[in-house]
Structure 1
């Protein structure tokens, strides 16, 4: 049976690419609607839902290709690896967006955040805001690994849920 078992990597790459492309399409839709600066809860939940749906679909397709069998460890690997591939594609898009497509993206996003911050916290001073922005610029490079880690954790969670629901191991005798 081992020789005929499908490769987890194949499913992770295939569905990770699909996840990355779907994420880019979603972000382009947000851009077309003028909402790509917003990080509201509904937008974040849609992104997480897209990840979960693609990971669950990848797991179900692996199980189908594996004769209806699935181990929890396989589901976890597929979930994490699919999320990593999707995240890398998404980060490449984000890099291109902020450096090539719309080089002033970070400035515009900062202005929108500033208006909201001053509205939500009237005691905030311009000096405090400037200090916060300066600190944020110093650590901006950490956004990439942080996003990768968060996506991997979300993929593991989706893989765990999918694995617990779809798990079916072969009998040993």
Structure 2
């Protein structure tokens, strides 16, 4: 049983680091293409595909290393572990980007949001617009964005590992 936990830990770390590196690489590409200010649905789809792929491969690797057997609980544990490590690495990138590399990025994001609100609600009074933007600014600090990103990563990791675990589970016969 001790050997079992060691392989779980190793797979979680390996695939979590792979997820983190791929997420950072995607973040660098988005930054270089100047895509952080305006969110694009394509970035979300690519990020989700990366997370699904790495998590499923991690669970599949554990199942192969475990003689072809996998319990649902193990799949969820592995998926959440991969999501946590990948999320932490991604959060470090986000904080570095927003605090060191491009400290003005939050202001750029807020300005784009202001323009979008004016475009969507042209009749909104200036005072109400400013109140909405002030509320938005409270949630667009690097640390708030990072906290929500980590929570989202864990939530998505749970959903992915739940479905992957249900699809791949195979219990070992004890008799």
Task: With the length of structure 2 as denominator, give the TM-score of the two structures.
Answer: 0.90
| Alpha-carbon distance between aligned partners in 2 of 1:37 and 1:71, rounded to the nearest angstrom | 42
Determine helix, strand or coil for the equivalent of 1:135.
helix
Matching residue of 2:101? 101
| Alpha-carbon distance between aligned partners in 2 of 1:148 and 1:169, rounded to the nearest angstrom | 31
Structure 2 gap ranges (5+): none
Structure 1 gap ranges (5+): none
Matching residue of 1:24? 24
**Contact preservation (8 Å) 2:80, 2:154:** yes
1:156 and 2:134 matched:
no
The aligned length equals: 172
| Alpha-carbon distance between aligned partners in 2 of 1:111 and 1:8, rounded to the nearest angstrom | 45
Which portions of structure 1, spanning 4 or more consecutive aligned residues, are displaced by more than 6 angstroms? none
| Alpha-carbon distance between aligned partners in 1 of 2:101 and 2:2, rounded to the nearest angstrom | 46
Determine helix, strand or coil for the equivalent of 2:35.
coil
Determine helix, strand or coil for the equivalent of 2:69.
coil
Matching residue of 1:145? 147
**Contact preservation (8 Å) 2:94, 2:146:** no
Q: Could you tell me which of 149, 171, 174 is aligned with 1:172? A: 174
Q: How well do the aligned residues superpose, as a CA RMSD in angstroms? A: 1.6
Task: With the length of structure 1 as denominator, give the TM-score of the two structures.
Answer: 0.91
Per-residue Cα deviation, 1:117-136 (whole angstroms, up to 9, x for no partner): 21122122332222122223
| Alpha-carbon distance between aligned partners in 2 of 1:94 and 1:126, rounded to the nearest angstrom | 31
Shift in Å at residue 4 of structure 1?
Answer: 4.1
Per-residue Cα deviation, 1:75-96 (whole angstroms, up to 9, x for no partner): 0011111111111111110001
Shift in Å at residue 3 of structure 1?
Answer: 4.6
Deviates more, 1:111-120 or 1:88-97: 111-120
Deviates more, 1:99-108 or 1:125-134: 125-134
Per-residue Cα deviation, 1:138-160 (whole angstroms, up to 9, x for no partner): 34443333222111010011101
Deviates more, 1:149-158 or 1:3-12: 3-12
Determine helix, strand or coil for the equivalent of 1:7.
helix
